[in-house]
Amino acid sequence: MIRLPLVCAAGVLALLVGCAAPAIKPAENLDETSGMTVGALQEPLEFVQNWKHAALGNAKRASFAYLGPIEWDRMGDISYSLWIHVAPGNDLQVGSLRAHGAVTLYLDDGPLPLVTVEPPVVGHDPYQPVVSWGQTAYFALDPAMLKRMAASRKLVLEFKLDAKDSKVAFFPSQATGATLTEFARSRGITDD
């Protein structure tokens, strides 16, 4: 009879360990249209504009943003991009993500203005927009910037609002460091 409670306790412990929030795993796919290998996360990182509304279950008013790193590999010719999608709630309209200085990424060591780029043409985008009325843009990313993002305890996206000089900040809904570190490691960018 003593063994049964120990087996149950071990089972409960295994379930608790399995419930810990793991990092979002990277994925790699061959795009058959372009012949390019595309490395991305299985799902982008989520950021929320007003975490108090979202935490209280008032998600209808909350606005979200999503960020995902991408590695484009065309037979050894490797480049990187940062995919960002904004899903505005009822009371928020951000300006064009493609406008100069429209998006800034804040890290531990300060602001990092993002510059838009055109992504390679592929048959299937690495990330899908979350809402049809949102905005999506790709930004320049290099290995050094990805390492800085992974090492930073602070990761905040700031967007300019439409027709105003005011800005709005979005904060990660979960820790981002482990996910970005795992992505960098899977791409051979870091030795960790």
pLDDT 10s digits, 120-177? 999 889 999 998 889 999 999 999 999 999 999 999 999 988 666 788 899 999 999 9
Band (50; pLDDT cuts 50, 70, 90):
low
Query: Can you give the pLDDT at residue 51?
Result: 53
The per-residue pLDDT for 5 is 40
Q: What are phi and psi of 88, to 5 degrees?
A: -70, 145
Domains of the chain: 24-186 (2.60.40)
What is the token pair recorded at 109?
């060591």
Give the closest residue to 127 by CA, choosing from 188, 71, 170: 71
Outline where the chain has alpha helix (H): 3-18, 51-55, 143-151, 177-186
3-state secondary structure of 136: strand
Place of tokens 């480049």: 79
CA-nearest of 107, 110, 92 to 159 is 92
The arithmetic mean of pLDDT across residues 1-9, rounded, is 37
User: Percent of the chain, pLDDT > 70?
Assistant: 77
Question: Are 139 and 117 contacting, i.e. CB atoms less than 8 angstroms apart?
Answer: yes
Contact 124, 31 (CB under 8 A): yes
What is the reported pLDDT for 20? 41
**pLDDT the model gives residue 30:** 85
What confidence tens digit (pLDDT) does each residue in 71-116 have? 999 998 999 999 999 998 866 778 889 988 899 999 999 999 899 9
Of 14-23, 46-55, 177-186, give the lowest mean pLDDT range: 14-23
pLDDT, one tens digit per residue, over 53-66 is 444 444 556 789 99
pLDDT score, position 191: 60
CA distances from 99 to 43, 48, 63, 159, 160 (A): 26, 22, 20, 10, 9
**139 and 176 in contact (C-beta within 8 Å)?**
no
Q: Which helix (H) or strand (E) holds 93?
A: none
Nearest C-alpha neighbor of 180 from the set 79, 72, 30, 45: 45
